[in-house]
Structure 1
Amino acid sequence: MATEAVTEAPVLTGLPVLGSMFDLKNDSLGTFLRARRDHGDVVRISAGPPGVRAHVYAVFSAEGAQQVLAGESANFRKDNAFYQEIRDSFGNGLLTSQDDDYLRQRRLVQPLFTKRRVDGYADAIAAEVATLTTEWEKAGHTTVDVLHESTRLALRAVARILFGTDVDSAVEVVERCFPGVGSYVLRRGYSPVTLPREWPTPGNRRAAALHRALYEECDRIIAARKAAGRTGTDDDLLSLLMAAESAEDGVFSATELREQVLVFLLAGHETTATSIGFALHLLARHPEAQRRAHEEVDRVLAGRAPGASDLDALPYVTRVLKEAMRLFPAAPVIGRRAVAATTIGGVAVPAGADVIVAPWVTHRHPAYWEDAERFDPDRFTPEAEAGRPRYAWFPFGGGPRACIGQHFSMLESVTALAMILQRHGFEAVDEEVPVAPAITLQAAGPARCRLVPREF
């Protein structure tokens, strides 16, 4: 049998001394798109001055993403600097833990995310969506920033499901602290040189204050819940986390509870908010797609709030969300570090190399997506999906570390989009929304839309 020829990775052209440092700093997503266009599906990108220069192997094909995340997942670990900064800020929860820690946490948490359990949160999600649309109407809003409003909605929904009655206080702290902590993580995670967090620099002191506020709020809610005792009827996630126990894995300690709560708050609202917000903005820019979504919602729901059982009856709304997640994946870049040397697509990747897969690029790859920048929900009909590689679309990651909250995110997103479309149409004020990667994809400008009230 012939063996695959192995080549060295092509190198993205950069500055003689600093490599691609400024390109990555100013437009990392555009830089990754250029790397694939000019050099192919596995590209080495170097950044930083000699002595502290970082090298990353960027993998853009669906087959390469599958190899990194699934086929050889044990060889690609969350050992890079960016994940360490997330650990230092949010703890060692499901997002960042590895090995036995991860397996133990996953076993304890998995029963909380069964389809039946998650479907039980549909009414709580619907209540938060109804509150939001009613606020718009009472305030007389004619224009809203759909990304900002979707973030507010998703945060309140996940806080309600996570904490039950302690929503308002938690939402205030998260809204105040998460942006600053996220910026701090991003800055340190991608800097070739970082000062110790303990040094009393102005940035470190500001970040420490934000961290303390987040930790204290989580600890306050957990302590109050423990003091009140479990009633047996509580089904919010915090109560279930506190009750999670097995003979093999024991229970979560107080620190572990806080870390899981922080990860659920982070991953549970920012990713879903991105999907809902960009879906609304894309529909505002594409009236025919919006008309089809309105018709489906009106026909299926006839004015009532959707339940979990309605998701399968809303295929076009679901396709709209999937296409929004293709164009604007909440995790545009996913990092790993190779343990042992390997090859990806015939290109040598050395042991210890930092490796990224990039949904932002793979979701635009011309081998899988014709006219990739065009918004077309019908890319996600069952027939079209069956004709593409599994990892041509992977907004939730993949393999053994795939997002445990996939069904929760889709339930919340479809429910929210359907209910909002019942009561409103949208016309885009801002045609284009600049974006930039942080811990998750962030809008770098407004996504304003005019509200058009509907009768239902």
Structure 2
Amino acid sequence: MAARTSMGTGVGGGAGFPSMEGNPLLGSLLELKADALGTYLRAQRRHGDVVRIDVGPPGLRMEMYCVFSAEGAQQVLASEAANFRKDNPFYEEIRESFGNGLLTAQDADYLRQRRLVQPLFTRRRVDGYAGAVAEEAAATLASWARARDGIVDVSDEMMHLALRAVSRILFGADTDATVDVVHRCFPVITEYVLRRGYSPLNSPRSWPTPGNRRAAAATEELYGVCDRIIAERRARGTDGPDGPDGPDGEPGEDLLTLLAGAQGSDGASFDAAELRDQVLIFLLAGHETTATSLAFALHLLGRHPEEQARAREEAVRVLGGRTPEAADLERLPYLTRVLKEAMRLYPAAPVFGRNAVAATEIDGHAVPAGATVILAPWVTHRHPGYWSDPDRFDPDRFTPEAEAGRPRYAWFPFGGGPRACIGQHFSMLESVIALAMLLREYEIETVDTEVPLSAGITLRAMGPMRCRIRPVER
């Protein structure tokens, strides 16, 4: 692709963005549809840390201002976060399908929701979910003992494990009623959101097109099971004896019960529709992201036997034969580094966007008011200015000393700033516990070394991620 330079609206003397030249009719739309991750990576390699990419036909064309530096990411997510909003078409499509929960809410709605939800995600509260995670990991191990020919698809397996874990924590005894529905409906809805979010022109959702009808049926089924569980829970009160263990090891309340009972200092609480919105967002963000991190951690370790052996040695030495606990997270630093490196190479949210409220300047380049600003952890996590030999798997990039030597936003798989992921401690807790238990019992050898990827709402494998598993010899 040839390059040209386009001078944008000047802001404080800043220069315009370098621009990728695409098809005269469609811009870079076809390149992004064919290989979005590769297109963003090439943009940075060829044109630097700030690049404009035009998408769509004239008259409907969207100008995307891509920011690939750690300093630019910090500006957008943290230091000038108020100037960059979730007002782009992609977030609007997520909002339409999955509700106005924490991921998509803004302004007063977001602040109110965050105040109500924050007490439910304290470290002490989240640590109480460790037992439920360990039980679901044990169930995965039991299924692996029956694996045909000793081959498992770690993408499917980790998706199932993470979905079971988050559903159990959300719904307690009602887990089985939701897992099958979520597993069946989520792919239909997320594909629909992705297609509409990247299309320059969409038909109204109310039109009876085949795609609209399929998505509407999946949404109705998903909403229906959530609404039923919420209604039943409210009908029997806030007692939740069947939830995961609480912080002191006693039976605790599931997250839905806690959400239903959450009250702000002004007495505000969630109504039934708002509860459903939060549940849907937690299901979306709480299982696909963790599953991605776990699957790629296993996939990478299956290709790097020395690092796998080191991770297993730590798990065996720290845990012995006992069930992991929340306190073990700090005792498993190498396993934590493995997961961080997997999230560097395969961030669950590889690309996301914001909308600039006012004209500003990023890395010395002008960004006009109303611009769509794209951040790409996929690219920043591979930036040669922050990472030596960036495509190499090396968990020791995340020793405390190495982390202290890099910019804060050279690695941001959980976002950052005031809208950083509220569930990041739970994600790390679940991932470390599950990985430790799996590696303690099985050696992993990657079968599918090349896996095609798609950058949807989350990073997804578009082919099998098969690994050969062998019980560890004692």
Q: TM-score range by the shorter chain?
A: over 0.9
Answer whether contact 1:47 1:53 (CA < 8 A) is retained.
yes
Partner Cα distance (1:198, 1:53) in 2: 24
SS where residue 46 of structure 1 aligns? strand
SS where residue 30 of structure 1 aligns? helix
2:440 paired with 1:422:
yes
Q: CA deviation at 1:110?
A: 0.3
Where does residue 164 of structure 1 map in the other structure? 172
Change beyond 3 A, Cα 1:307–1:205: same
2:274 paired with 1:281:
no
Where does residue 120 of structure 2 map in the other structure? 112
Which residue among 394, 400, 407 is the counterpart of 2:412? 394
- How do 1:403-418 and structure 2 match up within 5 A? 403-418=421-436
Partner Cα distance (2:149, 2:254) in 1: 32
Partner Cα distance (1:359, 1:248) in 2: 38
Answer whether contact 1:89 1:181 (CA < 8 A) is retained.
yes
Where does residue 81 of structure 2 map in the other structure? 73
Considering only aligned residues, what root-mean-square deviation do their CA atoms show, in Å?
A: 1.2
Partner Cα distance (1:232, 1:383) in 2: 44
Where does residue 454 of structure 1 map in the other structure? 472
Where does residue 54 of structure 2 map in the other structure? 46
2:92 paired with 1:84:
yes
SS where residue 145 of structure 2 aligns? helix
Q: CA deviation at 1:334?
A: 1.6
Q: CA deviation at 1:221?
A: 0.7
Partner Cα distance (1:347, 1:249) in 2: 46
Where does residue 348 of structure 1 map in the other structure? 366
Answer whether contact 1:108 1:249 (CA < 8 A) is retained.
no
- How do 1:36-435 and structure 2 match up within 5 A? 36-139=44-147, 142-231=150-239, 233=241, 234-248=252-266, 250-435=268-453
Measured against aligned partners, the alpha-carbon deviations of 1:235-263 in whole angstroms (never above 9, x if no partner) come to 11000000101232511000000000000
Which residue among 23, 27, 31 is the counterpart of 2:35? 27
Q: CA deviation at 1:228?
A: 2.0
**Unaligned residue ranges in structure 1 (runs of 5+):** none
Where does residue 13 of structure 1 map in the other structure? 21
Partner Cα distance (1:117, 1:127) in 2: 18
Answer whether contact 2:25 2:57 (CA < 8 A) is retained.
yes
Q: CA deviation at 1:455?
A: 4.0
Q: CA deviation at 1:5?
A: 4.8
Q: CA deviation at 1:140?
A: 5.1
SS where residue 165 of structure 1 aligns? helix
Q: CA deviation at 1:229?
A: 1.9
SS where residue 348 of structure 1 aligns? strand
Partner Cα distance (1:223, 1:404) in 2: 26
Identity, % of aligned positions: 68
Partner Cα distance (2:436, 2:13) in 1: 51
Amino acid at match of 2:360: T
Where does residue 248 of structure 2 map in the other structure? none
**Unaligned residue ranges in structure 2 (runs of 5+):** 1-10, 242-251
Between 382-391 and 131-140, the greater mean CA deviation after superposition: 131-140
Where does residue 456 of structure 2 map in the other structure? 438
Amino acid at match of 1:345: D
Partner Cα distance (2:419, 2:265) in 1: 24
SS where residue 436 of structure 1 aligns? strand
Answer whether contact 1:141 1:451 (CA < 8 A) is retained.
no
Give the TM-score normalised by structure 1. Answer: 0.98
Between 240-249 and 279-288, the greater mean CA deviation after superposition: 240-249
SS where residue 174 of structure 1 aligns? helix
Q: CA deviation at 1:224?
A: 1.2
Q: CA deviation at 1:231?
A: 2.3
Partner Cα distance (1:136, 1:219) in 2: 34
Answer whether contact 2:12 2:361 (CA < 8 A) is retained.
no
Q: CA deviation at 1:86?
A: 0.3
Q: CA deviation at 1:305?
A: 1.5
